[in-house]
Amino acid sequence: MSYTGGNEGAVVMEDQDASPIGPNGQLWSWGGQKDWGASALRSFWDSGQNVDAKSPDGWSIPRTDAVHTRGWRHGFQRELTWNARRVG
C-alpha cells in the first residue's frame, strides 16, 4: 500500500516500487502506544500522516471504504490509532 501525499491523501494498493513519490511512499511504521493502548500507523515518507482507522459506519465495524491519511492534529486522535496484535 502506498501513501499518495498530502493531508487526507488516499492510501492505495499498487505494485512494489511503483509509488509516484518513490519507494519511501510504500513504507509504514507504528507510532508509540497511546494511553488507550493503540498506535498510529504512520507514513514513513511523511510521519505526520497517519492512516485513518475509524470506519464511517462505527468503531466496531470493519472498514470497507477507501482509506485515507490524516494529520495527527486534524480531528479526534483515537480515530487515527489501531489496535494491532503483535504475534511472536
For the segment 21-36, the average pLDDT, to the nearest whole number, is 89
DSSP letters for 1-13: -EE-SSTTPBEE-
User: pTM (2 decimals)?
Assistant: 0.79
Percentage of the chain surpassing pLDDT 90? 24
pLDDT at position 35 is 92
For the segment 17-45, the average pLDDT, to the nearest whole number, is 88
Q: Are 25 and 3 in contact (CB under 8 A)?
A: yes
